[in-house]
Structure 1
Amino acid sequence: MNKRALISVSNKENIVPFAKGLTDLGYEVISTGGTLQLLQEAGVDAINVDQITGFPEILDGRVKTLHPNVHGGLLAKRDNRAHENQLKENKIDPIDLVIVNLYPFKETLAKTGVSDEEIVENIDIGGPTMLRAAAKNFQHVTVIVDPTDYDDVLQALQEDRLSLAKRHQLAAKVFRHTAHYDAMIARYFTEQTEEAYPETYTVTYEKVQTLRYGENPHQDAAFYKEAQATPLSLASANQLHGKELSYNNIQDANAALEIVAEYDAPAVVAVKHMNPCGIGLADQISTAFERAYAADPVSIFGGIIACNREVDKQTAEQLSELFLEIVMAPSFTEDALHTLTQKKNIRLLTVSMSKDGKIHNQLKSVKGGALVQNSDQGNVTAEQLTCPTKRQPTEQERADLLFAWKAVKHVKSNAIVLAKDKQTIGIGAGQMNRVGAAAIAIEQAASKANGAVLASDAFFPMPDTVEAAAKAGITAIIQPGGSKRDQDSIEACNAHDIAMVFTNMRHFKH
């Protein structure tokens, strides 16, 4: 009896030469719908699946391969006498090779203006069922879900060396593929039903690249992206120049993008070790860079730069004077690219600054599990601030306070940010106590602290941070408020003529 191959593919890339190669090897080809039509028009001797099921395709194609004559042929163990006898009794012939890829659910989701009905109709039922059946029986059946495997499998069949290990590998790819497919469907339905934290949490990612190493050279790593990546994300970036990104590059670049997205005015953010070392706002991107650089000209060395406006020639010339790992922007002028590509080791990336307005979940692994939360989109406007001190902030102080508040949100806790004139001038990150973070920020700012504002990511449990700020010449403070000892800090501010505002929102970042 000739071997049989069942072919039913949505992605028809290279399927015709593969099918011809199979018929040349004596395979009987069974197919369905559009795939069958394509193969027959190309001269491939293929038969319709209804010739082996004895049952027509029904329900607009929803049912065509869900039949014992298909699944019996896929699931029967060829070395099991009882299975062989049952196939003969029921006049079922084995199927030796399955080539299936699925309805384009992911592509349908991405279409503009797509209806729920169209999305649901692109949920494949028969395809995953055949794939899973064939993969389960990989000891006897070869299953292919990825067109890139056609050539290798065909050559192995031609040379009679298709091993059990290869069939096992192909089966593993099938189960990864169907799990990925089902995870996308599960996410779609979960979002439709607005279940924030369901009883099981399934995520799926697509591999972008294997990285040279992880956080340290002795660690392996890879970069994966969401199936539907958001525009303002590193997963959607386009690299124009430079060597591939490292694990730490990706972490830092992601942090830089999250920060620069906070600001509507032209902004430049410099990041080191996932903390901002300088943030500058201005009317022009070149001036914004000057302010970000001046905020900390030491730490920016070897850092990551994110700009929320096109990089022009003037800005590029400023950037080219520094050693930088990455520069990201929505675009670069031709002159800017010419200037920056002279530097061999710099990586240049374009990233859309369009925000999709969605609240995205953050996933953090812990040993044996994961923590899931929605991303910190919280912010406040000037009207939402409350002022418990005798002195109100001036209009300039209020603008700097809101600027600093957006910055401190992205600094590792405990966090303090000093700012003046749309520029960070001192950042204290990741300290075990708040006054320690303030001391680092004040020391960095030095004389610039006089007349500056201070932002704290969480409330003051005691007035020591206010006292330190007063000694440095800080004139206004923004903090969440809510401590049992708020009054102590309020009185300290009043004693030093410092204006303090409460946000009633904290920004811990662990």
Structure 2
Amino acid sequence: MEIKTALISVSDKQGIEELARFLEERDVEILSTGGTYKFLKEKGIKKILNVSEYTGSEEILNGRVKTLHPAIFAGILASRESNEHMLELKKKGILPIDLVVVNLYPFKEGLIRNLNHDEMIELIDVGGVSLIRAAAKNYVSCTVLTSPSDYRQFMDELSSTGKISITTRAEFAVKAFSLTSEYDSMIAGYLKETSGKIGEFELPEIFTMDLKKEMELRYGENPHQQGAIYRWKGDKLSLLDAEILHGKKMSYNNYMDVDTALNVVLEFNIPACCIVKHANPCGVGTGENVNEAFNRAYTTDPISAFGGIIAFNRPVDFITANDISSSFFEVIVAPDFHDDALSVLKKKKNLRLLKLPIGEFNPYPYHNLLRVRGGLLVQESDWAVEDPTKWEVVSDRQPTDMEMEAMIFAWKVVKWVKSNGIVLATREMTIGIGAGQPSRVGSVEIAIKNAHNQGKYTGGTALASDGFFPFRDSIDAAAEAGVSAVVEPGGSVRDREVIDAANEHDMVLVFTRTRHFRH
């Protein structure tokens, strides 16, 4: 397709002078609007006509209406293959527009600059979006450029072939519709926030995702799979905002594990540490400081911790850095690192250090997504606010304070363990974790097996289960291992059998009435 007439209306003037001069040299008639017209005239572009002169209609409403005119949109939307369309344009004296160069008002930049509401409303582009959509719809007859990064490709192809291929026009059209979709989604998110709807979970009839590629990853879960990470706008706490202080680029699996580890430590308002391997916690600890928290987490399962991911909810100090350096880990994420801690950890060449300030994080519901054949499963995130004072003690024996604290600790952790999930814990640390088994008793047996040092803990060892116990076998196994308190959702048809087993062993059994499956 040859280019004879172009419409240029841009907010971002980068590269536009070179493009306009290129078009002028090829005798292309240029139509332009207010600020762009003035800019190009000042740069010496002569073969240019103001849109107002062309349409005979001046800009009105302080520039809100510039290009919204039938002469403009008919020129863009007319099919060159339709004799009827072309005759109608000729009859009305309308030029076919072969090229539309438009980028949009900088709404995103306005958000970053924290402009007031009235200023943000003025940054909602109407005419630009309409022009882009019209040109992209009619890509068979019109080329649309929406970014300065596309100008060079356009100029090179026009220079070498004298026209723009249908393949290239389609490519530009895809970019155009992606841009307008992202732009509209950003505006909708802003209006939702300013209307007080942010933080309210909903499952809309039409689910749109405002995603932008942040970076391509070396590969996905496995080397034969492609992978990338996209930014989901609106999250109050984003892994993509983490500052990499040391180490190479994060991998797909690193991001998966860091997300789990971070979610676990966010459950606690005291110093906490979580070590994750293959998306499962393998050790969690709390303490008066991060050093106590780390050593308690590491003690749970030092073998599984090797090559794992560590998350802290407090800055990492020198003593903790020294303890960490004696083993191999892939990633450490923390709100900050002391300078002397960095000097120790940066000696580990293959260790990634991520600084991610947590601040006063308040969990809020967001969308969890899972692709299935032919669809997308969407659910609310598992950030249920739970009140242990409302848990139901169903056993004859009441829990001691120590047992209650241990059950609360274990319950916070088990929600992040792959189902069937079992956690053995004291009030300060996990001592055994069983994950991902098809049978619940199988996960119980693994957790007990992993609790190598359980014998030294007395009075207050608790077991948490993410789902109810269908039989009494898990209670019997826990009692034999020395567990004194169990917390689970309840809800099995055999709850009575499970309660009787707990009473036989003089154990505490608590029902939360909330399930925490994680697949």
TM over 0.5: yes
Following TM superposition, by how much is the alpha carbon of 1:276 offset from its aligned partner in structure 2, in angstroms?
0.3
What is the CA distance between 1:244 and its match in structure 2?
1.9
| Shift, 1:359, TM fit | 1.5
2:513 aligned to 497, 500, 504, which one? 504
**Alpha-carbon displacement from aligned partner over 1:190-235 (angstroms, at most 9, x marks no partner):** 776778222221213101122222222222222211133x242223
With over 3 angstroms needed to count, the CA separation of the structure-2 counterparts of 1:67 and 1:160, relative to structure 1, is same
**Whole-Å separation in 1 of the counterparts to 2:236 and 2:426:** 32
Per-residue deviation, 1:479: 1.2
Letter in 2 for 1:92: I
Which residue of 1 is the match for residue 347 of structure 2? 342
Tell me the residue number matched to 2:262: 257
**Contact 2:154 2:164 (8 Å CA) reproduced:** no
| Deviation at residue 312 of structure 1 after TM alignment | 2.0
**Structure 2 residue identity aligned to 1:317:** N
Q: Deviations over 1:158-187 (max 9, x none)?
A: 455554132222122112212222334455
For the Cα contact (< 8 Å) 1:2–1:28, is it kept in 2? no
Which amino acid letter does the alignment assign opposite residue 388 of structure 2? A
CA contact (8 A) 1:231 1:351 kept: no
* Residues 319-376 of structure 1: CA deviation (Å, up to 9, x unaligned): 2222211111112222222222222221221223143553211111111001111101
Structure 1: runs of 5 or more not aligned:
none
Kindly report structure 1 stretches of 4+ aligned residues shifted beyond 6 Å.
none
Tell me the residue number matched to 2:316. 311
* Compared CA separation, residues 410 and 52, structure 1 to 2 (3 A): same
Aligned equivalent of 1:76 = 78
Deviation at 1:103, TM superposition (A): 2.6
- Bigger mean CA offset, 280-289 vs 8-17: 8-17
Is the Cα contact below 8 Å between 2:434 and 2:445 reproduced in 1? yes
Match of 2:11 in 1: 10
Paired residue type of 1:469: A
Q: Distance in 2 between matches of 1:15 and 1:312?
A: 51
The one-letter code of the counterpart of 1:309 is: R
Deviates more, 1:263-272 or 1:212-221: 212-221
Matched, 1:294 2:296: no
C-alpha distance in structure 2 between counterparts of 1:489 and 1:478, whole Å: 12
Tell me which residue corresponds to 1:484.
493
Distance 2:155 2:112 in 1: 33
Q: In structure 1, the residue corresponding to 2:451 is in which secondary structure?
A: helix
Letter in 2 for 1:490: I
Q: Compared with structure 1, are the counterparts of its residues 111 and 467 closer, same or farther at alpha carbon in structure 2 (3 Å cutoff)?
A: farther
Identify which of 442, 445, 467 aligns with 1:436: 442
Within a 5 Å distance, the mapping from 1:131-170 to structure 2 comes to 131-160=132-161, 163-164=164-165, 165-170=167-172
Aligned to 2:396: 390
Equivalent of 2:228 in 222, 225, 239? 222
CA distance in 1, matches of 2:504, 2:302: 35
Structure 1 pair 436–372 and aligned structure 2 pair: CA distance change class (3 A): same
> Is contact 2:431-2:453 (8 Å) kept?
no
TM-score of the two chains, using structure 1 as the length reference: 0.92
Instruction: List gaps (5 residues or longer) in structure 2.
Output: none
Which of 409, 425, 445 is equivalent to 1:403? 409
State the 1:446 CA deviation.
3.3
Cα distance 1:320–1:13, how it changes in 2: closer, same or farther (>3 A)? farther
Distance 1:111 1:503 in 2: 45
- Which residue pairs with 1:200 in the alignment? 206
CA distance in 2, matches of 1:87, 1:356: 59
Give the counterpart letter for 2:324 in structure 1.
L
Bigger shift: residues 419-428 or 37-46 = 37-46
1:76–1:83 contact (8 Å) kept in structure 2: yes
Partner of 1:245: 250
How far did residue 95 of structure 1 move? 2.1
* Residue matched to 1:475: 484
C-alpha change, 1:358 and 1:29, in structure 2 (3 Å) is farther
What SS is found at the alignment partner of 1:427?
strand
C-alpha change, 1:231 and 1:188, in structure 2 (3 Å) is closer
In the alignment, the residues of structure 2 paired with residue 286 and residue 161 of structure 1 have an alpha-carbon distance, to the nearest angstrom, of: 68
CA contact (8 A) 1:231 1:356 kept: no
* Conservation of the 8 A alpha-carbon contact between 1:233 and 1:257: no
1:208 is matched by which residue type in structure 2? E
Alpha-carbon offset, residue 153 of structure 1: 2.6
State, as a whole percentage, how many aligned pairs show the same letter. Answer: 47
Residue 53 of structure 2 corresponds to residue 51 of structure 1: yes
**Cα distance between partner residues in 2 of 1:195 and 1:430:** 29
- The equivalent position to 1:329 in structure 2, one of 330, 334, 338, is 334
Residue type matched to 1:62 in 2? R
Change (3 A) 1:463 1:434: same
TM-score of the two chains, using structure 2 as the length reference: 0.90
Alignment of 1:269 onto 2:274: yes
Q: 1:265 to 1:356 in 2, by over 3 A?
A: closer
Partner of 1:179: 181
SS of 1:442 mapped into structure 2: helix
